[in-house]
Amino acid sequence: MADGTTWHSSDIDHVIVSEEQIRDKTAELAKQVAADHADAESILLVGVLKGAVMFMADFARALGRVGPPVELEFMAVSSYGQGTTSSGVVRILKDLDRDIAGRHVVVVEDIVDSGLTLSWLLKYLESRSAARVDVVALLRKPDALKVSIPVRYVGFDIPSEFVVGYGLDYAERYRDLPFVGVLKPSVYGRG
Ligand code: XMP
Ligand code: MG
């Protein structure tokens, strides 16, 4: 666009977490994880596609600078159910490529909302005999506090609003925005 903004960043009503806040918090979380896993030979990060890709890329580099060697794995899961809420019934679309037995695993999540996806995923990873499974989530919504899942590292607690950006999408768009924000109401129903 002529004014220098992209068409889609103009769809944002307000920013919830800025690019700078994400950068600072990512470094802070990496330091905490590095300190807690100082005895690990390496850390296996498991990113949950697609939402966690941006955070995974930045977090892995931040952790690699201050902690043990980092290895990357990805899983893709889909929760049965409709629209923007999850049902807790999870289907694996892409499984781990290798054995995680005995490994220090850190699950990298974009957002924990109801916590149902994560609680399923933690049971699954534990059943694969990881030595230790921790979770780092960039964002957490208040609903997540109702379920007892141990999200050890949380970036930001945010209001219960649907957010996009930094990996998070609405109809597959806005993942590329460098910040997390709320869409203008007019955007919904447009596609
Ligand atoms: P649960 O409820 O199982 O869901 O913790 C976690 C997954 O739901 C998606 N999710 C969102 N995606 N904006 C999004 O783009 C949101 O505000 C939002 N809230 C939940 C996301 O895929 C997450 O991994
Ligand atoms: Mg999504």
Active site residue 3: no
Residue numbers of the domain that contains 71: 19-160
User: Is 103 part of any domain?
Assistant: yes
| Residue carrying the six token digits 């609003």 | 161
Q: What average pLDDT does this structure show over 166-170?
A: 96
28 sits in the region (left: phi over 0; alpha: psi -120 to 50; else beta) called: alpha
Amino acid letter, residue 35: A
Asked if the model's pLDDT at residue 129 lies above 90, the reply is yes
* Residue in 39, 113, 143, 157 annotated catalytic: 113
166, 138 in Cβ contact below 8 A?
yes
Q: Answer yes or no: is the ipTM higher than 0.85.
A: yes
Q: Which atom of ligand 1 is nearest to the CA of 85?
A: 2
Amino acid letter, residue 57: A
Cβ 63 under 6 angstroms from ligand 1: no
Cβ 115 under 6 angstroms from ligand 1: yes
User: Is 35 part of any domain?
Assistant: yes
30, 59 in Cβ contact below 8 A?
yes
71, 89 in Cβ contact below 8 A?
no
Report the CATH number at residue 102: 3.40.50.2020
- DSSP states of 83-107: TTS--S-EEEEE--SS--TT-EEEE
| Residue whose CA is at the smallest distance from ligand 1 atom 18 | 162
Q: What average pLDDT does this structure show over 24-46?
A: 97
Report strand pairing: 90-94 vs 12-17: unpaired
- Pick from 6-15, 80-89, 107-116, 145-154: least confident: 80-89
User: Is 184 part of any domain?
Assistant: no
User: Is 88 part of any domain?
Assistant: yes
- Distance of alpha carbon 61 from alpha carbon 165, whole angstroms: 20
pLDDT at 112: 93
Cβ 119 under 6 angstroms from ligand 1: no
User: Is 167 part of any domain?
Assistant: no
User: Is 2 part of any domain?
Assistant: no
User: Is 127 part of any domain?
Assistant: yes
Q: What angle do CA 126, 129, 134 make, to 5 degrees?
A: 45
| Helix, strand, coil share of the chain (percent; to 5) | 30, 30, 40
User: Is 52 part of any domain?
Assistant: yes
Total domain count, the chain? 1
pLDDT at 87: 61
- Distance of alpha carbon 25 from alpha carbon 158, whole angstroms: 14
Q: What average pLDDT does this structure show over 59-73?
A: 97
